[in-house]
Amino acid sequence: MSLREQVVAGLEEVRRRSLLYTDIDDDELVRQHSPLMSPLVWDLAHVGNFEDLWLVRALGAQDATRSGLDDIYDAFRHGRASRAALALLGPAGARAYLREVRGRALDLLDRFGPLPDDPAHSLTIPHALPVGIGIATEPGAAPPVPAGTSPTGTGTPSGAAARATEGSPLDADADAHDRLLTRGFVYGMVIQHEHQHAETMLATHQLRAGPPLLDVGATPAPGRVVPRREVLVPAGPFTLGTSHDPWAYDNERPAHRVELPAFWIDTLPVSNRAQMAFIDAGGYDDPRLWSPAGWEWRQQEGAHAPAFWWRDGGIWLRRRFGRIEPVPPDEPVQHVCWYEAEAHARWAGRRLPTEAEWEKAATHDPVTRRSRRYPWGDTAPTPDHANLGNRTSGPAPLGAYPTGASPCGAEHMIGDVWEWTASGFTPYPGFRSHPYREYSEVFFPKSGETSAFRVLRGGSWATGVPAIRATFRNWDYPIRRQIFAGFRLARDAE
């Protein structure tokens, strides 16, 4: 398959996700389900506006498909809580806008001629796994046919990464056009952006009240007991980040050598069972386990368990996309904020890994002394490697993906839950903004300040396959719980 064919297929796949998650009643689309999230109809038109900015205007030097929309769909001008009050396109208008933009983007792709397919520019685009969650239908009703199955038909990542994919192509340098086309980068950016917003839409669905609108996904692979609770990562150098991945964002670049002491990291993320033990031990009520900022958040929030959990007698229940169900003890815990992860780690006598430790555990091959694109190698994820692309509508049981293990033996490092790390969001040495400052640079702390954000790694069950790799850096405020985030524990080697 040529690079052009891969780009077209990637654009079509992610558009099917966007339209599938918004194939609901108009009232649900325009409603603000939570001040934490935009109305779904805003996200829908926003991905079209982003595509128009980059594939039609920045790349094609064309006029806007529709004038007057840039301000409305600029996330930096309008916070999520205020977007419902804007003069948004309605559901039908948003879908029509997406079709118009996509038609122009594909026409321009043909005008540019074949994208380079020589070995120096080779690229295999990782396509999305089959989407396993659809729109719920009433009994006896015909299932809806997803719109957008033709070319006319987006945490962070969830979290801040999805929020940050805004900006203006006017910030580009003189050689921006060629850089945007190199190895299809700009198309990869647009595809990833829409996958990120698809994950954001799922977070909105989780926050909304009322009966289910989404079908339950496929049954995940069964879990298993892993042979070791933790694995040792030996001391030594490794390569953090990337300078060669064609779709990597600027904050993943450049690759650079990092020296780390030896450390232990858990084979698996923390389970719901372990979080229940933390609760039963009084973890949410013991200020000694919390940082001052974390304890202040805990008191203000009144948190006593992960978001969407409550206890009914001796049973823990959760709400998942409008359905009430027992909390499965052997899934990774999700919907916990960084402060909860930090307190749990302190209770367990452990700590959160730094993002450098996380990436070394996920990618470093001590035999070849190189870093892999994914824990298992450089080949794109399959359903045997990781739980991605919303196939299962939630995390898989722990131990379900032994073939996805990293060289050191850590599992579930891609997919299932984003993993909080101990690290703030800062630039790598030699960082250079590309293609615009608003993706990463504006979120870095100023000189002498500490980062307001914490880095998450690995993606979740809702993350699109093209929007994740082991170098991908998500970030969000330490109070965020609506994202599909959990954590794993680490400790210093003794």
pLDDT digits (tens, 9 = 90+) for 245-300: 999 999 999 999 999 999 999 999 999 999 999 999 999 999 999 999 999 999 99
What are the pLDDT digits (tens) for 379-414?
Answer: 999 999 999 999 999 999 999 999 999 999 999 999
Task: Give the pLDDT band (50/70/90) at residue 3.
Answer: confident
User: What is residue 164's predicted lDDT score, i.e. its pLDDT?
Assistant: 40
Q: What is the pLDDT of residue 122?
A: 42
Higher pLDDT, residue 143 or 418: 418
Which region among 147-161, 328-342, 426-440, 443-457 has the lowest average model confidence (pLDDT)?
147-161
Directed axis angle between helix 40-51 and helix 3-21, to 10°? 160
Burial of residue 17 (CB within 10 Å: 0-12, 13-18, 19+) is buried
Task: Check residue 4 and give its pLDDT.
Answer: 86
**pTM value?**
0.90
Residue 232: per-residue pLDDT: 98
What pLDDT was estimated at residue 128?
52
User: Nearest 5 degrees, angle CA 155-CA 160-CA 161?
Assistant: 60
Mean pLDDT of 164-170: 46
User: Is residue 130 pLDDT above 90, yes or no?
Assistant: no
Higher pLDDT, 164 or 378: 378
Least reliable range by pLDDT among 163-172, 226-235, 361-370: 163-172
* Spacing of C-alpha 191 from chain mean position: 13
Tokens of 390: 């919303």
Calculate mean pLDDT across residues 205-226: 94
pLDDT at residue 177, as a whole number: 73
pLDDT band at 125 (very low <50, low <70, confident <90, very high): low
Pairwise CA distance, residues 50 & 61, whole Å? 15
| Band of residue 113 on the pLDDT scale cut at 50, 70, 90 | low
8-54 tens-digit pLDDT: 999 999 999 999 999 999 999 999 999 999 999 999 999 999 999 99
CA distances to 35, 50, 80, 83 from 443, rounded to whole Å, are 21, 19, 17, 21
**Residue 366 pLDDT exceeds 70:** yes
pLDDT band at 183 (very low <50, low <70, confident <90, very high): confident
Half-sphere exposure of 44 (CA within 13 A, CB side): 31
Query: ∠ at Cα 251 (106, 263), nearest 5°?
Result: 130
pLDDT at 114 over 90: no
pLDDT for the residue numbered 249:
96
- The whole-number average pLDDT for the span 456-475 is 98
Work out the mean pLDDT of the chain and round it to a whole number.
89
Calpha distance 50→442 (Å, rounded): 18
Q: Looking at residue 231, what is its pLDDT?
A: 98
Least confident of 41-50, 108-117, 217-226: 108-117
Q: Work out the pLDDT band at 375, boundaries 50, 70, 90.
A: very high
Q: What band does 197 get if pLDDT is binned at 50, 70 and 90?
A: very high
Instruction: Identify the pLDDT of residue 392.
Output: 94
